[in-house]
Amino acid sequence: KRIAIFASGSGSNFEAIAKASVWSDAYEVVLLFSDRPEAYALNRAEQLGIEAQVYEPSHYPDKRSYEADILALLIRHRVDLVVLAGYMRLVGETLLQPYQNRIINIHPSLLPLFPGLHAIENAIDVGASQTGVTIHYVDEGMDTGPIISQESIPIEPADTYDTLKEKIQKIEHRLYPETIEQMVRKDELFVKTSLTERI
Ligand code: GRF
């Protein structure tokens, strides 16, 4: 299957998935998409020899036209699965409808606990004894959508934001490629209809 990864920032998950894909005959990363020209993920794409495209939302009159251009890009690249990895925008109908059940996201908490931008800080602040990582289908909400996989991790008394973030990212970099591999091998999602039939 052909995968596009969407990233707004560092792109460490993008890099982990791209590196893992080399060992997989089930999927390949054909595109990095970003909404921010300064995203470090773009440097990683260049290093990895993966095509990168940046579309800036401010160049569009509205979200619908922005996403229509992204959709055209995905169709040109024959993308089967969209993987959000630190993509800091809510995905709208224009992309969700044609890519129903084919857009996934990773979040640094055990959803439905601690959705939103400050998941790691929030878990520490409330004194939670554990947190974790969730991979889920994307819908129109923020960090909602059916859960695909989860892994928990204890929060130690000595943990700070930095130590916990490091532990969480270590899990993410393993769990995301593993989950993608399992998803694309579970073929029933992908074989029934081709993309062109759904648009
Ligand atoms: C990850 O921690 C992910 O859970 C969250 O955003 C972060 C992205 O990190 N959605 P990176 O850009 O992949 O390094």
For residue 85, the CA-to-ligand 1 centroid distance in Å is 6
Q: What pLDDT score was predicted for residue 93?
A: 97
- Which ligand 1 atom lies nearest to the CA of residue 16? 13
Q: Torsion over CA of 65, 70, 73 and 74, rounded to 10 degrees? A: -130
Residue nearest to atom 5 of ligand 1 (CA): 86
pLDDT band at 34 (very low <50, low <70, confident <90, very high): very high
Q: Quick one: what percent of the chain has pLDDT higher than 90?
A: 92
Residues having CB within 6 Å of any atom of ligand 1: 7, 9-14, 85-86, 106-108, 169, 172
Sheet holding 28-34, edge to edge: 52-54, 28-34, 2-6, 81-84, 103-107, 130-137, 147-154
| pTM score, whole prediction | 0.93
Cis peptide before 112 (omega within 30 of 0): yes
Q: Is 190's pLDDT higher than 80?
A: no
Name the token pair of 123.
Answer: 């878990």
For residue 62, the CA-to-ligand 1 centroid distance in Å is 26
Q: How far is CA 40 from the centre of its chain?
A: 15
Q: Is 130's pLDDT higher than 70?
A: yes
Residues annotated within the binding site for (6R)-10-formyltetrahydrofolate are 63, 88-91, 105
Report the chain's mean pLDDT, rounded to a whole number. Answer: 94
The answer as to whether 199 is a domain residue is: no
For residue 157, the CA-to-ligand 1 centroid distance in Å is 24
The model's pLDDT over 133-163, given as tens digits with 9 standing for 90+, comes to 999 999 999 999 999 999 999 999 999 999 9
* CATH code: domain of residue 29: 3.40.50.170
Which listed residue (77, 107, 118, 173) is catalytic? 107
- Domain housing 123: 2-194
The yes-or-no answer on residue 107 being catalytic is yes
- Give 193 or 126, the one with higher predicted confidence: 126
Distance CA 124, CA 174 (A): 23
Residue 155 exposure: Cα atoms within 13 Å on the Cβ side: 22
- Which ligand 1 atom lies nearest to the CA of residue 41? 12
The answer as to whether 59 is a domain residue is: yes
pLDDT band at 199 (very low <50, low <70, confident <90, very high): low
**Is ipTM > 0.85 here?**
yes
Contacts of 48 (CB under 8 A, 6+ apart): 15, 18, 19
78 neighbors 1 (Cβ within 8 angstroms): no
What residue type is 87 in one-letter code? Y
The answer as to whether 18 is a domain residue is: yes
Name the token pair of 173.
Answer: 């970099």
The model's pLDDT over 114-125, given as tens digits with 9 standing for 90+, comes to 999 999 999 999
Q: Quick one: what percent of the chain has pLDDT higher than 70?
A: 93
The model's pLDDT over 80-105, given as tens digits with 9 standing for 90+, comes to 999 999 999 999 999 999 999 999 99
Count up the domains in the chain and report the number. 1
